[in-house]
Structure 1
Amino acid sequence: MLNSATAKSVIDHALFLGADFAELFVEHHQTNTVQIASGEVDKVNSGIDFGIGIRLFFGHKVLYGYTNSTDEAELKRVTSLLAAKDKREQIASAGSLNLNRYPIQHGCRMPLSQDANLDSKIAFLLKVDQAARAESEYISQFIGSVLQREQQVSIFNSEGLHVDDTRHYIRVAGNTVAQKGNEQSSGMEGPGALAGWEFSEQIDAKELGQTIAQQALVKLGADACPSGEMPVVIGNGFGGVIFHEACGHLLETTSVAKKASVFHEKMGEMVAHTAVNAVDDGTMTNEWGSIHVDDEGMKTQRTQLIKDGKLTSFMVDKMGGMKTGYEPTGSGRRQNYKFAPTSRMRNTFIEEGEHSLDDMLAGIERGIYAKKMGGGSVQPGTGEFNFAVREAYLIENGKITKPLKTATLISTGPKVLKEISMVGKDMALAPGMCGSVSGSVPTTVGQPTLKVDNILVGGGN
């Protein structure tokens, strides 16, 4: 995509203009989306993008620009425009750029660049549609899609780094609407992986359709959810979105370096119940949030964030490390070449504990079982949140008794961490897209089923 000689010449030019550090992020990005609606193909979209991001450090100041050209003169022109904002004396030129090669951990058998699977994608989605509609006459709508993309990157920097990487992403999504009279409810699932179309072989189309349909159907005629503070058992998998949004972002040096996180001075302190162990792991084979190397060219790793309730690490990018003194953790990520990287999550989850669902239910006279979580909103810095519960059930006298309409969980990240008293043995992961200052990136959330002793529930009663 860009030869090393050109990259070195541009980097040397940046250093000649006084930059302390210079980096080129070269990206070729290909996407394809197939969508069906009402049992028919609704759209098929494909796209290709290419660009080069240029990042310069002047002390702790970051300057960033990008271009779609590989022409050396154009790259130097953009570099000069950036450096003009903070021009300093020339420093030494970059050393030789040495290509670092890492073993391919996340294999891909059916990549988008060799895609000949349009018919099989459509057939797969139609099977999911048929399975969902077969569950009930009340299923009034199904929309399904397959998103596949391939990202090739080359990263060069003034420390002599040269890394090439290819990332393959696949996500299958389904949404249903159930309608009975004037009442409507919805269901959705969206499995994904760092893989190619071969990932579909791991998905049972019939089971996926049935699951999505049942999520919608169970809420038809359900009682309103009670309101107030009460114990809540949160289901595994996407239940981890609460930790991701309300706590995870507060553990990124993006916020820690600005002292905009309530955790910025808590390293080594107890920030959660002793039952809580939390990890951000970019090494998990073929998981949606995994990467071989981050978008700064650093090999990814497993980062233990919380151990037995104690804060043990932040997620650190290069500039975040310079500002805070912490070592980078391979967490520098960006949506594409149009964004400068910053510290971001990868596969972030609460580790397994030792309790069963029955253990958690026992002793709860009245509470909520939040089987499936939905989206929500979080206040940056404090971690104050409210999250929708997509599938909820009432707990009475230690038993799950009946389905409820959508509920809302309201608390703060730091508070809810200390209210978790039991953690289950059924850890599961769920893919999602996370938005922040460096754009939208694939991330995985996860947790086992866990018990929160006390949290504010917003419902209809």
Structure 2
Amino acid sequence: MLSPAIAKDVIDHAMFLGADFAELFVEQSRTHSIELISNEIDKINGGIDFGIGIRLFFGTKVLYGYTNSTDKKELLKIVDILTAKDRKNLQLESVSFNFMKGSNLHEVSQPLHQSNNLESKLSFLHLMNQSARSESNKINQFIGRVAQKEQDIEIFNSTGLHVNDNRNYIRLAATAIAQDGGQQSTGFEGPGAMAGWEFHTHIDPKYLAAQVSKQALIKLNAAVCPSGELPVVIGNGFGGVIFHEACGHLLETTSVAKKASVFYDKLDETIANSVVNAVDDGTIANKWGSINIDDEGLKSQKTQLIKDGVLTSFLVDKMGGIKTGYQPTGSGRRESYKFAPTSRMRNTYIESGDSSFEEMISSVEKGIYAKKMGGGSVQPGTGEFNFSVQEAYLIENGKISKPLKSATLISTGPEVLKEISMVGSDVEYSAGMCGSSSGTVPVTVGQPSLKVNKILVGGGNE
């Protein structure tokens, strides 16, 4: 996408002006999305975006700029502007690139550049809409969406790295809204993968639509959740969002390097119950948060974050490694060429344990089963969180009883890790989007069902 000769001249110029490190991130992305609402196709959008990001290091200072042009004069001009206040001893060595073509772990048969598969996508959305509404006449709205993206990247840097990669993303989303008199509730599912349109053959549109409709209907006349400190069984899959938000971000060198994380000095110390093992793995084939290489050109890897309750690693990008002394973990990610990369999660999950779901439920005299988690808020420095529960049930005398509404879970990452006493063997994963200082990127959260001995539960009022 960019001439290596131009890349060489730009990087040589940056190094001549005293940069300690120089990098060019070249990207071209195709996107295509369709949205159905109120029984009709509401939006069909698509486009192509191209740009080049230029990142320079002067010590631990990061300078960043970008352009949509491949013109050498424009790229050199950006370097001159970025370095205007930081120029120092001139470096006369010239960079020599060593091109590397990495292996692709994520097989794709229907990429966006071949076809947008418009008719097939329209049929999928209409079938979901019909199926959702057929569940009940109380389903008064259904929103369906298909979004596909293909991203080509090329990276050059002053260490001689030259590498490229092709990435394909597909995400389906279904939202059902149920209404009964003045009561209204919603259900949502959003499966995604690092794949092409062929991913939809693994998803039954009728089943997906039925899932979100049943979620919405169950909550319509549910009882108000009780409040207080209670044991909670958190369901598998998207339940992992709590670990991602309240703990995972605290293990990124973005916060660790600034000592803005409660875990910054806890490496090799026990931070969780011994049944907890947590991983961030960018190598799982076709998972939504997977990558062949990160956005700094490093090969993706599996990073063990917690082993038997002990903190074993952080998530480290290049600058994070410079600031902390830790080795990069292939975790440097960015939304696009408009952002400088920082340390970010990929597929982050708690690994399987040896307890059964039935054992967890039967061990609770009175508590909450949080089957499906919703959104929430987190204080980055402390890990304090407040998460809503999208689908919840009361547990009484070791059995799941009535559905609940207005349930929230309130705690901190460090506290909840220590209160996990049972971990199931039913690990599942869910797709999501994560926003941080380097933009919004695809991530996977996951976990088996697990039991938290005590956590503050917030209820609601009738």
Q: TM-score, normalised by structure 2?
A: 0.99
Alignment of 1:229-240 (within 5 A): 229-240=229-240
- Residue 371 of structure 1: CA displacement? 0.2
Counting matched residue pairs gives 461
- Residue 94 of structure 1: CA displacement? 3.9
Question: Would you say the 8 A contact 2:190–2:431 is kept in 1?
Answer: yes
Q: Secondary structure at the match of 1:159?
A: coil
Alignment partner of 1:248 is 2:280: no
List per-residue Cα deviations over 1:291-319 (Å, max 9, x = no partner): 00000000000000000000000000000
Alignment partner of 1:438 is 2:446: no
Question: Aligned residue for 2:64?
Answer: 64
Question: Aligned residue for 1:261?
Answer: 261
Alignment partner of 1:331 is 2:319: no
Question: Aligned residue for 1:449?
Answer: 449
- Residue 139 of structure 1: CA displacement? 0.5
Alignment of 1:130-145 (within 5 A): 130-145=130-145
Question: Aligned residue for 1:377?
Answer: 377
* Distance in 1 of aligned mates of 2:199 and 2:306: 31
Question: Aligned residue for 1:166?
Answer: 166
* Distance in 2 of aligned mates of 1:329 and 1:382: 23
Q: Unpaired segments of 5 or more residues in structure 1?
A: none
Question: Would you say the 8 A contact 1:230–1:456 is kept in 2?
Answer: yes
Q: Secondary structure at the match of 1:245?
A: helix
Do the aligned partners of residues 116 and 379 (structure 1) sit closer, same or farther apart at CA in structure 2, a change above 3 Å counting? closer
* Distance in 1 of aligned mates of 2:77 and 2:66: 11
Question: Would you say the 8 A contact 1:176–1:216 is kept in 2?
Answer: yes
List per-residue Cα deviations over 1:6-30 (Å, max 9, x = no partner): 1011000000000000000001011
Alignment of 1:113-128 (within 5 A): 113-128=113-128
Question: Would you say the 8 A contact 1:32–1:44 is kept in 2?
Answer: yes
- Residue 95 of structure 1: CA displacement? 2.8
Q: Secondary structure at the match of 1:426?
A: coil
AA partner of residue 413 (structure 1): G
AA partner of residue 430 (structure 1): S
- Residue 350 of structure 1: CA displacement? 0.2
* Distance in 2 of aligned mates of 1:244 and 1:64: 28
List per-residue Cα deviations over 1:236-287 (Å, max 9, x = no partner): 0000000000000000000000000000000000000000000000000000
Question: Aligned residue for 2:107?
Answer: 107
Question: Aligned residue for 2:284?
Answer: 284
Alignment partner of 1:196 is 2:196: yes
Question: Aligned residue for 2:86?
Answer: 86
Residue range with higher mean Cα deviation, 37-46 or 377-386: 37-46
AA partner of residue 203 (structure 1): I
* Distance in 2 of aligned mates of 1:371 and 1:69: 49
Alignment of 1:399-414 (within 5 A): 399-414=399-414
Question: Would you say the 8 A contact 2:22–2:55 is kept in 1?
Answer: yes
Question: Would you say the 8 A contact 1:94–1:160 is kept in 2?
Answer: no
Alignment partner of 1:423 is 2:423: yes
Q: Unpaired segments of 5 or more residues in structure 2?
A: none
Question: Aligned residue for 2:272?
Answer: 272
- Residue 116 of structure 1: CA displacement? 4.0
AA partner of residue 131 (structure 1): S
* Distance in 2 of aligned mates of 1:93 and 1:454: 60
AA partner of residue 446 (structure 1): G
> Moved runs in structure 1, 4+ residues, more than 3 A?
none
Question: Would you say the 8 A contact 1:334–1:342 is kept in 2?
Answer: yes
* Distance in 1 of aligned mates of 2:94 and 2:437: 29
* Distance in 1 of aligned mates of 2:243 and 2:438: 20
Question: Would you say the 8 A contact 1:276–1:350 is kept in 2?
Answer: yes
* Distance in 2 of aligned mates of 1:140 and 1:156: 52
Do the aligned partners of residues 363 and 116 (structure 1) sit closer, same or farther apart at CA in structure 2, a change above 3 Å counting? closer
* Distance in 2 of aligned mates of 1:371 and 1:286: 25
List per-residue Cα deviations over 1:172-221 (Å, max 9, x = no partner): 00101001111100000000000000000000011001101000000111
Q: Secondary structure at the match of 1:290?
A: coil
List per-residue Cα deviations over 1:337-375 (Å, max 9, x = no partner): 010000000000000000111111123111000000000
AA partner of residue 357 (structure 1): F
* Distance in 2 of aligned mates of 1:254 and 1:198: 36
- Residue 406 of structure 1: CA displacement? 2.7
* Distance in 1 of aligned mates of 2:130 and 2:336: 36
* Distance in 2 of aligned mates of 1:13 and 1:58: 14
Q: Secondary structure at the match of 2:29?
A: strand
- Residue 104 of structure 1: CA displacement? 1.3
Q: Secondary structure at the match of 1:414?
A: helix
Question: Would you say the 8 A contact 1:154–1:162 is kept in 2?
Answer: yes
Question: Would you say the 8 A contact 2:32–2:116 is kept in 1?
Answer: no
Q: Secondary structure at the match of 1:155?
A: strand
Taking only aligned residues, the RMSD between alpha carbons, in angstroms, comes to 0.7
- Residue 165 of structure 1: CA displacement? 0.5
* Distance in 1 of aligned mates of 2:156 and 2:10: 10
AA partner of residue 114 (structure 2): Q
Q: Secondary structure at the match of 1:91?
A: coil
Question: Aligned residue for 1:16?
Answer: 16
Question: Would you say the 8 A contact 1:391–1:406 is kept in 2?
Answer: no
Q: Secondary structure at the match of 1:320?
A: helix
Question: Would you say the 8 A contact 1:20–1:91 is kept in 2?
Answer: no
Residue range with higher mean Cα deviation, 97-106 or 201-210: 97-106
Residue range with higher mean Cα deviation, 361-370 or 158-167: 361-370
Q: Secondary structure at the match of 2:223?
A: coil
Question: Would you say the 8 A contact 2:11–2:95 is kept in 1?
Answer: no
Alignment partner of 1:31 is 2:31: yes
* Distance in 1 of aligned mates of 2:339 and 2:364: 48
Question: Aligned residue for 2:155?
Answer: 155
Question: Aligned residue for 1:5?
Answer: 5
Question: Would you say the 8 A contact 1:392–1:405 is kept in 2?
Answer: yes
AA partner of residue 127 (structure 2): K
Q: TM-score, normalised by structure 1?
A: 0.99
- Residue 92 of structure 1: CA displacement? 3.9
Q: Secondary structure at the match of 1:219?
A: helix
Q: Secondary structure at the match of 2:209?
A: helix
* Distance in 2 of aligned mates of 1:246 and 1:94: 45
Residue range with higher mean Cα deviation, 35-44 or 138-147: 35-44
Q: Secondary structure at the match of 2:326?
A: coil
Do the aligned partners of residues 94 and 227 (structure 1) sit closer, same or farther apart at CA in structure 2, a change above 3 Å counting? farther
